[in-house]
Structure 1
């Protein structure tokens, strides 16, 4: 079914959706559980904050509600079924907020950044919360901790693990922010946090986690979507929720290597379907612009925007610790696909994140003890018409093009999106792109990928 698909978030059975979006195909869901508490994982995050003795503002809670509704749309409305062009969907969100006037004022900016992030066309409608839920923040359940905390995204991946290590190594206590849906992500997050707690036991590391997602039976869309382009909006919003609760001017650390942050398409086909923009500089700048417009004193910062993943490993402030624990982080885009071969979930070893990870381990540590479904990329010819060789072949083509026309790099960095917010760092963006591709080139030397 084509046309606009609207996710309607409700706060209780008496909450009524906005009439302007009512004529579209709408999928309502109640954000409150049977005890009238926030559901779908957001209540879990709120409880974690209350246990720290901190309470977020209603505006920050609004942002999180919007991010949950967006997650529902992004994961439960299929591109195949609902996109006119096979990619871009017409999506709508109808969300109750504490201050509809404020949110209507920022709606053009919010729609622009979501369009860029997911490649869809978003329509956003805001209405007042029901009077019974005009305030969703709950009193803190404990006295506030005295120690200062540094908010840091914590995905269970290698980059965020290094980000947390680098904070701990200089004596800063991180407040780790995680969301997850699958068991493997949760397992990696838990292991990495416990490793940090063991290594830096005196710091008082804290962890806020939320299992946010929607089962097949919740919305009734009859479909699902695995491209997940909107996931960083949820991640960022949860981090802002925590940072806002801490009070004062706060920085959210977004540890992401510069190559994957830019995510220059490896070939023309990757511009839409296979090129994510989750931490692209343009998107992060728009998110910060949104926070200013909302009056939230929080800023997102990527301290590794001009570092490759290999450089992040080499420059990590705890070399023996990262060497010991790097293999326990999770980078794979879909570790559960190992089940298709009858194996336990693990890194596939051939998706784009896995290839960049393998290259960085080689460049940063000189070895890699990660368990991959394909442990040796050089052991046999890989089929480039299948997943095992598709991305390898794309990298090889990009490498060949750069080798033939090195100057093209300064143009390629603009392909994923504008870099207008950092005009004085263009040479640095080009450098991190070149260096990152060179790391992958070293990994793929001698690897054969062709149609079989």
Structure 2
């Protein structure tokens, strides 16, 4: 597959073009990409978004959209795509200085080859309208110091609980994303409602954003986390002070180590891999955006997160309202009336293993608890069993390098990997070879 040249636009007034264009990608066209960022009221935010943060936000939407609509099977190796994107930015000097860094970060995150060419733009009419409205508003302003990613998953719910048990609710903003279907948004709404009740929060503590590429054909979506985090980063840029961005994710899944060599592709998503986060931190710093990214559970397994939760009773009451599955809407496609966990994807299995480790009652709904629903479930179980059978703590140093370079805190990463694998081993030991036949 030869290089694909893409001209990206965010404004219908943009008439830029190049002779070698293979496709245009217009964020302003709802038939191509739909997002709700500008539908929100930002009058209670103290300042307008910084130019570099706005650029980062738009770049993340464009990258995510292209990731969804260009199938990997067209790559020379049926995986890696070669893409050159022409991008409009406000702060062109900073982006030209960080061009190589952005490319390196996204190459690692998505497994593709990205090349960018930036062009100067000015504020759009919509941006100026929102800017003027924000600056003229006399609404009482937010004064937060922490933004926490809030996906609706078990990890993010524990992260929210732990924060709310330690600091004032007025200091925190929770940011969510949903991309269609009911498999995510309904869980986010249920959890936010219960958090509001338990901790006397306001709906203003939560911001939820829709962003979805139309006609998406590629399901690996490795760049989704970049888009998700960029929503939080652009909000943080309005505060004109250093903001901590908390990304709650257990250490095992953060490492994204495939259980077997056959699962080195889409299963290794790198969503919060330490190397990717390191590159993202460097990029944010280079752009002079005052955001510090932190994963407080980098060296904690999912089971340990449950056991150490600062309000365990509240967590137990709501564990069925959290969603960990990688494809929660699949059951609805098969006629189920209630969204549920599949039970056999890797996030589901890690979830089940962690709840077993914590010895609490799992009230969640799973469509398949014994890997018997079909070929995919049985294949997954076989892969997991092979992975835990080959698990050897003496080889952990080499294993944790499989999904990306780990150069610091080696012993801590080895420790969380070993403990996480032991949680998986304890769960999978319940399934004997007869299940695979």
Same fold (TM over 0.5): yes
For 2:85, what is the secondary structure of its paired residue? strand
The answer on whether the counterparts of 1:3 and 1:90 sit within 8 Å (CA) in structure 2 is yes
1:296 — aligned with what?
Answer: 289
Q: Is the 8 A contact 1:52 1:142 kept in 2?
A: no
Secondary structure of the residue aligned to 2:214 is coil
SS at match of 2:342: coil
Query: Aligned residue for 2:36?
Result: 41
Which 4+ stretches in 1 moved above 6 angstroms? none
Aligned to 1:25: 22
Q: Please state how far the C-alpha of 1:60 moved relative to its aligned partner.
A: 0.8
Equivalent residue of 2:184, what SS?
Answer: helix
Distance 1:96 1:226 in 2: 27
Change (3 A) 1:6 1:343: farther
Please state whether the residue corresponding to 1:170 is helix, strand or coil.
coil
Aligned to 2:241: 248
Distance (whole Å) between structure 1 residues aligned to residue 344 and residue 120 of structure 2: 47
Alignment of 1:37-186 (within 5 A): 40-44=35-39, 47-80=40-73, 82-130=74-122, 136=128, 138=131, 139-140=133-134, 141=137, 143-145=139-141, 147-173=143-169, 174-182=172-180, 183-186=182-185
Name the counterpart of 1:210.
Answer: 209
Q: 1:178 to 1:382 in 2, by over 3 A?
A: closer
2:14 alignment partner, SS class? coil
Q: What secondary structure is seen at the aligned counterpart in 1 of 2:366?
A: coil
Distance 1:148 1:343, change over 3 A: same
Displacement of 1:39 in angstroms is 6.0
Change (3 A) 1:284 1:339: same
User: Displacement of 1:209 after TM fit?
Assistant: 1.4
- Tell me which residue corresponds to 1:419: 406
Distance change >3 Å, CA 9–CA 447, structure 1 → 2: same
Q: Say which SS state the counterpart of residue 347 (structure 2) adopts.
A: helix
Q: Which moved more, 1:440-449 or 1:65-74?
A: 440-449
Checking the alignment, whether the CA contact within 8 Å between 2:75 and 2:81 is kept in structure 1 is yes
Secondary structure in structure 2 of the residue aligned to 1:184: coil
CA contact (8 A) 2:176 2:208 kept: yes
Tell me, in whole angstroms, the C-alpha distance in 2 between the residues paired with 1:5 and 1:202.
47
Structure 2 unaligned runs (5+)? Answer: none
Q: What SS class does the counterpart of residue 361 from structure 1 fall into? A: helix
Consecutive unaligned residues in structure 1, runs of 5 or more:
217-222
Q: 2:146 is paired with a residue of what secondary structure?
A: strand
SS of equivalent to 1:50: coil
Partners of 2:10 and 2:387 in 1: CA distance: 49
Contact 2:87 2:118 (8 Å CA) reproduced = yes
Question: Contact 1:100/1:127 (CA < 8 Å) preserved in 2?
Answer: yes
Between 350-359 and 340-349, report the one with greater CA deviation. Answer: 340-349
Residue 395 of structure 1 is matched in structure 2 by 384
Which segment drifts farther, 252-261 or 175-184? Answer: 175-184
Q: Does the aligned pair in 2 maintain the 1:150–1:251 contact within 8 Å? A: yes
Q: Given the two structures, how large is their TM-score scaled by the length of structure 1?
A: 0.88
CA distance in 2, matches of 1:373, 1:72: 30
- In structure 1, C-alpha distance between the alignment counterparts of 2:13 and 2:201, rounded to whole Å: 49
Report the 3-state secondary structure (helix = DSSP H, G, I; strand = E; otherwise coil) of the residue aligned with 2:176: strand
Aligned-CA RMSD value: 2.3
Contact 1:31 1:40 in 2 (8 A): no
TM-score (norm 2): 0.91
CA distance in 1, matches of 2:203, 2:14: 41
Q: What secondary structure, in the 3-state scheme, does the structure 1 residue paired with 2:398 have?
A: helix
Whole-Å Cα distance in 2 between the matches of residues 366 and 131 of structure 1? 52
